[in-house]
Amino acid sequence: MSRPKYIASCSGGKDSVATLLLAAQHNEPLDEAVFSEVMFNQNTSGEVPEHRDFIYDRLKPFCEKELGIKFTILHADKTYDEVFHHVITRGPHKGEVRGFAWAGMCAVNRDCKIPPVRKYNAALSPDTVSYVGIAEDEPKRLARLDGVKKVSLLAKYGMTEVDAYKLCQKHGLLSPIYTHCRRNGCWFCPNASDSELLHMVTKHSEMFDRLIEWENEDNIFHRRMTRRETPSEVKARLLSKSQTGFSSPQSKYEMEV
């Protein structure tokens, strides 16, 4: 009788990458790693550019050539461009363009991140086992796992978030996003921290300025990128702040290494 298929959900962050490394170190069965990539539009990734390059140029080849497992990249039918430019069809704002995703109610996660994962999972055999990157020091998240079809190797081998960070760093598999933020997300995320936003404003200004172009389009319902500011307001504030000594907060993982 054949064994079930084992897959690892992989965002490219420290916890999911550490899961891949633990599987290899402890000879845990693993057949495939799966990454869901949000797209800004048909040609531009929604991932922070450095993280996108890490996924394609470092992590995918590592999985395929060194671990000998398949690395699958999923994409939704919708892009952020389409989510933003959706025309509201009912209610007081009928006929207006939706605009930026609301903080706390992310339409991007709902329409661009989750659908391809659900479609992929629906095609799996019922006995498939999924490894998820949840560390030992995340008890609330661990409590939601069934421990049979969804398994945390980090918890099984006593790995905390800091341990995961160190393991990835040791193997040269730590995403460059950790130089300026504590978690990876879309570069246009409404919940992004100032350090994440400043990175895009200063290192990838041509991309961030596309958000400002959208902000200034006609008939936009929601023009704020964050809870309080439009993209142009974010850029003006952060550039002014950077001139007076703004510095990115050191990663809590780096501080404990």
**By residue range, what is the domain housing residue 155?**
6-181
Whole-number pLDDT of residue 127: 93
- Per the domain annotation, does 254 fall within a domain? no
- Per the domain annotation, does 57 fall within a domain? yes
CATH of the domain at 18: 3.40.50.620
Flag whether pLDDT at 146 surpasses 80.
Answer: no
The helix or strand, by DSSP H or E, that contains position 32, with its residue range, turns out to be: strand 32-36
Contact between 119 and 129 (Cβ < 8 Å)? no
- Per the domain annotation, does 75 fall within a domain? yes
Q: How far apart are the first and last CA of the chain?
A: 45
- Per the domain annotation, does 229 fall within a domain? no
Rounded CA separation 251/3 (Å): 40
Number of domains in the chain: 1
The residue type of 91 is: G
The C-alpha torsion from 199 through 205 and 206 to 212, rounded to 10°, is: 100
Contact between 224 and 98 (Cβ < 8 Å)? no
- Per the domain annotation, does 201 fall within a domain? no
Whole-number pLDDT of residue 106: 80
- Per the domain annotation, does 98 fall within a domain? yes
The helix or strand, by DSSP H or E, that contains position 54, with its residue range, turns out to be: helix 49-54
- Per the domain annotation, does 198 fall within a domain? no
| Nearest CA among 176, 136, 146 for reference residue 49 | 176
Q: How many CB atoms lie within 10 A of CB 25?
A: 12
pTM recorded for the entire structure: 0.91
% residues pLDDT > 70 (the chain): 93
Two structure tokens written together for 136: 């030992």
210-224 residue pLDDT tens:
999 999 999 999 999
Flag whether pLDDT at 249 surpasses 90.
Answer: no
12-51 residue pLDDT tens:
999 999 999 999 999 999 999 999 999 999 999 999 999 9
- Per the domain annotation, does 62 fall within a domain? yes
Distances 161 to 1, 105, 164, 167, 226 between C-alpha atoms, Å: 37, 26, 5, 10, 27
